[in-house]
Every structure is written in structure tokens, then in C-alpha cells.
Structure 1
Amino acid sequence: MRQVTATGQTVEDAIQSALRQLNITEDQATVEVIDEGKKGLLGLFGSKPAIVKVIKQEDPVEKLEKYITNIIAEFDINIEIETRVDQNQVTIDLSGEKIAVLIGKRGQTLNAIQYLAQLAMQQYADKYYAVIVDAEGYRERRRETLISLAEKKADRAIKIGKPVKIDPMPSYERKVIHTALQHRDDLTTDSQGNEPNRYVVILPK
């Protein structure tokens, strides 16, 4: 966290001076007025400059990158991180030779990292961001697998005439299941249970 104490003839002059030194805009800063100053007689005699302390707010995405970097450091592997921000979605792509370690069985380790990252981002940012943590295209491959799984489970539900439950998965994966089957008029889908063990149930009509 960087901060600058600056002076000026007015509070606004002092603030602008500090912002220039930090090379930031006012919406990226926290301003503390130390002394509002004093104009003095005829604007000359007995005047005192205004004094402010301006603190640069750390970007929430940068904080999130550091947080994930610290998590990955516990695995003792070299991983590269690439971050993309699209409106209210932050996508973090991980890549490296031992990426399978971070993915885990059925993506469980990657999902755990994403879950923690989402919680962290809620603390860092003053608005909502959806956080996606991917690893060398794993999410897309997983999406294709989930679509295939959804169709197989749906066919089974219709065949046996009973609800079929799918193993617990994160909300965005459940959404893939719901979306994949929403065109079917012979069944409905529902999410049941409590996080993080919430699951999809396929119910024949």
C-alpha cells in the first residue's frame, strides 16, 4: 500500500498534488485531511498550507492474484498466472508442467481454489465479481463432460421412471447441467442440498 502526504494552498490542491505523485485518480484513493490550512490576512500573512494524506487503494484483482499465488506456493510447483477481467467476471488461467496437481480428481482441487478465491474477492472488492479459476482449458473440457453426463443421467431417469441424483458440484457446473437439459420436455431439473454439497436432481415428468 502506497501513501503520500502532500501540501497545497487548498485541500483540493494538496489532494491533486498527492494524486499526481501516486499517478492515480481520486476514485483509486483514500483521502485523509490532516490540516485544512488557513488563508491568512489578505491571503498572504499568517497563511498555512493544507495538508492531506492520500493512500492508494490496492486493486482487488491484484490482491486476488497475490492470494492465489500464495495458495499455489503451498503446492511447491511453478505455475504461471494470466488474469482477464470482463465486466463483473474475473477469469484466472493457470498453466505449468504439473498443472494436474492443481486440477485434482474431477477438478476438486481447482474447484476448492476457485471457491476460496470467490470468498476472498467478496472481501477485496466493493462490488460483486464472479471468479473463474481455470487450468489450461480444463473448464471447457469439463463442460463437455458434464453435458454428456447430463444426457446419460436424463436417459436413465426416463428409463427407470424415478429421480436421478448427480454428485455434488459447484454452482456453475450445476448450471451447465440445467442448461444442457432445459430443452427436454419429458423431465425437469432441480438443485437440492446445501453448499458446498449442493447437487442436481433430474426428475422425470
Structure 2
Amino acid sequence: MKEVTAVGQTVEEALQSALKQLKVTEERVEIDVLDKGKKGLFGLFGQRPASVKVRLRAQDPVEEAKTYVLSIAAHLGVFPHIQVEKAGKQVIFSLSGEKIALLIGKRGQTLNSLQQLTQLVINRHSKDFIHFTLDAENYRKRREETLAALAKRMAEKAVSSGKPVRLEPLPSFERKIVHAALSGDRRIRTFSEGAEPKRSMVIAPKTK
């Protein structure tokens, strides 16, 4: 429901009825007063109710996403600064400030979960699909370098042992980093096994 028409003895009463139906506050809506109403003689004769049309304001998906991230961070006692980068349908939030490690979590697990949830929020308010990335203190670049180095070490291990090497479960975008890092190595092949969220990348030597 994005628009309702409500009536009441006064404009304010009609407005409150509409807000209750939409389950929002007055700041989130646009209001058209259709009829201010009329009290009538002695409060009885000729009485006419007031009526209003109330519609939800068009929301900025990026602002909604920022509000969401800041609210989650605040629950963890973190109050970050958010730098926003937009390029077409790509949006990147870069977080900085004190206690940022709490938003990153072990091996980026907290950051990844917050990214997935914010991806849902930003696209709930957008007509076109937005590719969303959440970064914190340049963690994504550092993680990419770590994964690429790990992938190459595990590739050497797979080749020398002649046996497949399974990495720890990784989200899909991190598995793509591993695959890209080894795409030029003709001695091995990479593939994924298992179900999300425990899907793993396997690095296996190619059979001669």
C-alpha cells in the first residue's frame, strides 16, 4: 500500500488514520487535503468529515541503505563515516572510523553479512537492480590480495601432491577471486562443491 484516502472529524484525525494504515510517520509522506470538513450547526446539522489523501514519498535507495548500515553499526557501538561511490548501477559504501574491526569480523564474515542485508535494502527501494559493495578501511582489497596469494600457494600444493585441495567455505564473490587468480595456470582446474553458505572452492591438478 503506497497511498490511502482517510476521513475524520478533523484534518489531523484523518491524517493520523492514514498514517496508521500506512504504518509510517508524517515525515515519510506527502499529504493532500481533499476536504477540511465542516462542524455543522450545533455540531449536528450540515456536518461534513474532513478527508485527506496520503502517499508515501519516493525514497532514495542509497539514503535508505545508509540509514540501515548506520543503525546496525550503532547497535554494535560503532559510528562510522560512510563514503559513497556511484558508477552506473554500482554503489560502493566505504566505512571508516573507530572500532571498524567490529564491523569487519573474523575473515570479513560480519562485513559480508551486512553487505548481503544492505543489498536487499537498497534494492527494495530501487526500480533497477543495484550492485552493492560494502567495504571498511580498504578491507576488500587486502582480502583480495590475501585470497590470491592463498590460491597460488594451494595450487602449488595440489600440483606437487597430485591431490585436490579444498579451501574453507567462501562467499561466491570470494570464490570468483580465487578462480580469477588461477585462471592462467594450466596445471590445475578449479570448481565449487557443497551448498551455500558452506560452498567451497576446490583446486585440483589436471590429469595428464
Global fold match (TM > 0.5): yes
Structure 1 residue 91, shift from structure 2 partner = 0.7
Instruction: Give how far 1:132 is off.
Output: 0.8
Q: State the secondary structure of the residue aligned to 2:170.
A: coil
* Cα distance, 1:56 vs structure 2: 2.8
Match of 1:104 in 2: 105
Kindly report which structure 2 residues correspond to 1:153-168, keeping only aligned pairs within 5 A, or say none: 153-168=154-169
State how far apart, in whole Å, the 1-side matches of 2:202 and 2:73 are: 34
Q: Which residue of 2 aligns with 1:136?
A: 137
SS of 2:202's partner is strand
The amino acid of 1:197's aligned partner reads K
In the aligned structure 2, how far is the partner of 1:203 from the partner of 1:63? 44
Q: Which runs of 5+ in 2 are unaligned?
A: 1-27, 35-51
Aligned to 1:2: 29
1:203 aligned partner: 204
| Stretch moving more, 51-60 or 148-157 | 51-60
Query: Which deviations, in whole Å up to 9, do the C-alpha atoms of 1:151-187 show, x marking residues without a partner?
Result: 0011111111111111111211111101000001111
TM-aligned CA deviation for residue 138 of structure 1:
0.7
Q: Secondary structure at the match of 1:58?
A: coil
Task: Determine helix, strand or coil for the equivalent of 2:168.
Answer: coil
Quick one: distance in 2 between partners of 1:190 and 1:63?
Answer: 37
The yes-or-no answer on 1:94 pairing with 2:95 is yes
Give the corresponding residue for 2:85.
84
Whichever residue aligns with residue 102 of structure 1, its letter is L
Query: Paired residue for 2:123?
Result: 122
Following TM superposition, by how much is the alpha carbon of 1:66 offset from its aligned partner in structure 2, in angstroms? Answer: 1.0
**C-alpha distance in 1, partners of 2:193/2:128?**
28
Between the aligned partners of 2:145 and 2:58, the Cα distance in structure 1 is 40
Contact 2:191 2:202 in 1 (8 A): yes
Q: Distance in 1 between matches of 2:155 and 2:205?
A: 8
The residue matched to 2:93 in structure 1 has which SS? strand
CA distance in 2, matches of 1:52, 1:65: 29
Poorly superposed stretches of 4+, deviation over 4 Å:
51-55
AA paired with 1:137? N
Q: Give the aligned partner of residue 69 of structure 1.
A: 70
Q: How large is the Cα RMSD of the aligned pairs? A: 2.0
**Mapped pair 1:169 → 2:170:** yes
State the match for 1:59 in structure 2. 60
Q: TM-score with structure 1 length normalisation? A: 0.72
Native 8 Å contact 2:61 2:123 kept in 1:
no
Counterpart-to-counterpart distance in 2, 1:57 and 1:103: 32
Displacement of 1:6? 8.1
Q: Quote the sequence identity (%).
A: 42
- Gap change, CA 1:83 and 1:145, over 3 Å in 2: same
User: 2 CA distance for matches of 1:142 and 1:123?
Assistant: 28
Looking at structure 2, the residues matched to 170 and 126 of structure 1 have their Cα atoms a distance apart, in angstroms, of: 26
Q: What's the CA shift for 1:52?
A: 8.0
